[in-house]
């Protein structure tokens, strides 16, 4: 079954919880945009650039209302999101258990108990984390569309500089996809080898004692753990490298934006409220 089709089937398992989670999380994702608009209007009223009839206390009240609404959305998400998460996890583990009980050659499974453990623990969590991205997808898309449209009304060049880092991050992640798969697979294989050996070691305790092979078993266990340590270190290091590139591109873009905004403010094109909101 393809990834997209499997994801749709899982999302349809508890559609009510999923839709409510999207609603609450989407509202939380849109709050920064609303907060920016309120802050812009607030600073404009202080400098006399606001529309007639507005005053700072109006926007202070709006800011408080937005923050209260955000807390209500987060509280609702805290109620429905864990229920959805554990429902999907329980379904996946139940299906895995049913599949194990129906296997015709159980010896093959008993010799790979470490891999089975990884499937129940790590793979299930990875699948649910992948599905969770659909929760934030809609809110982030709406937020990005509104933010880009609003910024384009202010200045097209600054908007273009803001979007460039996101495009570069997508290109870099796509180019590193092969290495992400390679390092993650190596880490999972090394983890399965360690857990399999632990299972075999406990099953053969008497044989190890009779043959006085304790030192050899411990040495082999150390080698497996060292291999797991190296593969995990490489995987985590590569992941942190990608995160660092993402964050630093954003920081560089923020610096360039501030320089451009400062030039526009000096020429009188921007009001004071535009700078905090962007």
User: Residues 115-147: pLDDT tens digits?
Assistant: 677 777 777 888 888 888 888 888 888 888 888
Query: 142 in a domain, yes or no?
Result: no
Q: What is the mean pLDDT of residues 230-256?
A: 88
Residue that finishes a domain, picked among 133, 167, 185: 133
Query: 265 in a domain, yes or no?
Result: yes
pLDDT at 273: 60
Cα distances (angstroms) measured from residue 74 to each of 28, 35, 78, 191: 7, 16, 6, 36
Structure tokens at 180: 């992400």
Most confident of 33-47, 128-142, 223-237: 223-237
Residue 125 and residue 193 in one domain? no
pLDDT at 226: 92
pTM value?
0.65
Residue 98 and residue 212 in one domain? no
pLDDT at 110: 55
Residue 163 and residue 273 in one domain? yes
pLDDT at 222: 92
pLDDT at 278: 42
Nearest to 41 by CA among 23, 26, 64, 59: 59
Structure tokens at 176: 């590193």
Higher-pLDDT residue of 164, 43: 164
- Quote the CA–CA distance of 205 and 219 in Å, as a whole number: 15
Residue 128 and residue 6 in one domain? yes
Given a cut of 60, whether residue 70 has pLDDT beyond it is: yes
Residue 120 and residue 49 in one domain? yes
pLDDT at 184: 86
Residue 120 and residue 70 in one domain? yes
Number of domains making up the chain: 2
Residue 113 and residue 224 in one domain? no
Q: What is the mean pLDDT of residues 243-262?
A: 82
Residue 124 and residue 160 in one domain? no
Structure tokens at 120: 């129940």
CATH number of the domain within which 245 lies:
1.20.1560.10
Instruction: State the burial class of residue 150 (Cβ atoms within 10 Å of its Cβ: 0-12, 13-18, 19+).
Output: middle
Q: Which domain holds residue 159?
A: 155-278
- Quote the CA–CA distance of 134 and 120 in Å, as a whole number: 22
- Residue with the two structure tokens 């797991």: 228
């Amino acid at each position: 079954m393809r990834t997209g089709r499997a994801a749709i089937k899982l999302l349809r398992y508890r559609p009510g919880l999923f839709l409510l989670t999207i609603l609450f999380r989407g509202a939380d994702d849109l709050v920064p945009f609303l907060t920016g608009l309120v802050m812009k209007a607030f600073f404009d009223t202080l400098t006399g650039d606001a529309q007639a009839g507005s005053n700072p206390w109006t926007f202070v009240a709006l800011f408080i209302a937005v923050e209260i609404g955000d807390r209500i959305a987060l509280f609702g998400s805290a109620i429905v999101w864990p229920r959805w998460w554990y429902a999907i996890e329980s379904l996946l583990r139940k299906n895995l258990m049913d599949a194990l009980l129906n296997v015709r050659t159980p010896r093959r499974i008993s010799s790979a108990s470490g891999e089975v453990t990884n499937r129940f623990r790590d793979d299930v969590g990875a699948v649910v984390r992948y599905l969770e991205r659909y929760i934030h997808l809609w809110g982030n898309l709406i937020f990005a569309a509104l933010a880009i449209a609003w910024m384009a009304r202010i200045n097209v060049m600054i908007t273009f500089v803001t979007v460039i880092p996101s495009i570069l991050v997508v290109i870099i992640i796509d180019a590193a996809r092969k290495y992400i798969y390679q390092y993650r697979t190596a880490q999972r294989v090394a983890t399965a080898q360690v857990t399999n050996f632990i299972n075999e070691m406990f099953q053969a305790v008497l044989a190890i004692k009779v043959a006085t092979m304790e030192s050899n078993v411990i040495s082999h266990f150390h080698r497996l753990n060292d291999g797991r340590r190296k593969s995990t270190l490489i995987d985590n290091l590569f992941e942190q490298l990608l995160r660092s590139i993402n964050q630093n591109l954003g920081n560089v873009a923020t610096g360039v934006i501030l320089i451009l905004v400062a030039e526009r403010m000096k020429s009188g094109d921007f009001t004071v409220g535009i700078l905090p909101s962007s």
